[in-house]
Amino acid sequence: MSHTSAYAALSKTSGLKPFAFERRVIGPTDIKIEILFCGVCHSDIHQVRDEWGGSIYPMVPGHEIVGRVVEAGRAVKKLKVGDLGGVGCMVESCRACESCKAGEEQYCTGDKLVWTYNSLFKDGTPAYGGYSSHIVVDEAFALKISPKLDPAAAAPLLCAGITTYSPLKHWKVGPGQRVGIVGLGGLGHMGLKFAHAMGAEVFQFTTSTSKVSDAKRLGADQVVLTSDPGNFDKLARSFDFILDTVSGVHDVTPYLGLLRRNGSMVLVGVPEKPFAVQAFSLILGRRSLAGSGIGGIRETQEMLDYCADHGIVSEIELTSIQKINEVYERVVKNDVKYRFVIDMQSLAQAT
């Protein structure tokens, strides 16, 4: 076993505190990664506070992990000691169902999907995430991080990056298309960067006038302030694809009215409450409302390589593990541009 320092939530109201546990000894196909950086995802907060239900405590959050490989099992081929490696949202699946065989492990139907944290391995032991000194993972669920990428700014690619890249690729976004990105936060700013790089005409939708200049800097062709209903009227029936990244409760009907015939709106944000959809907003124009969840390991590696080739990383604010509870409050208030990343070297001074 391997002693591991971490920060954990002991209950939904405890906040995050220093914690220690044992990682498993590496097996033939395992690698051990010393964690250098870990992104802070809003879903970390939802699960720490049990806002989605079913939280398992103690909980060590974190699924945007970048670090250095310090040990590798004898059968490992993907990474070697000294390489930069990453771990995203999952660390195991059944590997045998239709989804797993298609390289889309995130949709595993074999009832053996293990998330990076707040999940249980088949032997009943808890999975602990990236707010920790190191992680042991099967190489099948590890990613290669290019040395071209800033490792701190690359960490959010393991969730925010793949969550937005995957639907843009699946719906074949590219040149000649008009694309809308709803929300300019941790997810939205990545969706904007990808859609721009893919050659689409990109409209950024935001409630905040303070984000207009940022949106243009990040690649938006136009910025639409959603506080003015007249802006929706001007753009009716003109979009091929809309990516909705907003996690707060909001009305999607006005956005559906922006879609052309056969247009699609895809949700990647997870509001706490369900919303109503007017049937005619879909029927009139044969429009589609869909959802998308992260991406498989193969597609995540493709996304990381794409980012290395195109110079794409997340816009980050680096922080220390000691400030994590303050960071959570700032994320809830949307007081970050656009993703917090924990410098895990700070853990040595905290535990």
Which domains, and CATH codes, for the chain?
2-159+315-350 (3.90.180.10), 161-291 (3.40.50.720)
Mean pLDDT within 186-215: 94
What pLDDT shows up at residue 337?
A: 87
Q: Is the pLDDT of residue 145 over 70?
A: yes
Q: 301: which 2 tokens?
A: 């590696």
Cβ 24 vs Cβ 1: under 8 Å = yes
What pLDDT shows up at residue 131?
A: 98
Closest listed residue to residue 117, CA positions, set 58, 71, 29: 58
What pLDDT shows up at residue 74?
A: 96
Q: Is the pLDDT of residue 350 over 80?
A: no
What pLDDT shows up at residue 272?
A: 74
Q: Per-residue pLDDT tens for 205-240?
A: 998 888 899 999 999 999 999 988 889 999 999 999
Element at 306 (helix H, strand E): helix 297-310
Q: Per-residue pLDDT tens for 39-87?
A: 999 999 999 999 889 999 999 999 999 999 999 999 999 999 999 999 9
Q: Is the pLDDT of residue 154 over 70?
A: yes
Mean pLDDT within 22-31: 95
Element at 48 (helix H, strand E): helix 42-48
CA-CA distance, 27 to 88, in Å (whole number)? 20
What pLDDT shows up at residue 9?
A: 97
CA-CA distance, 32 to 137, in Å (whole number)? 7
Local structure of 348: helix, strand or coil: helix
What pLDDT shows up at residue 1?
A: 67
177 confidence band (pLDDT: 50, 70, 90): very high
Q: Per-residue pLDDT tens for 122-137?
A: 999 999 999 999 999 9
Q: Is the pLDDT of residue 201 over 70?
A: yes
Q: Is the pLDDT of residue 158 over 70?
A: yes
Mean pLDDT within 176-186: 95
Check residues 149 and 273 and name the one with the higher pLDDT.
149
Mean pLDDT (the chain, rounded): 94
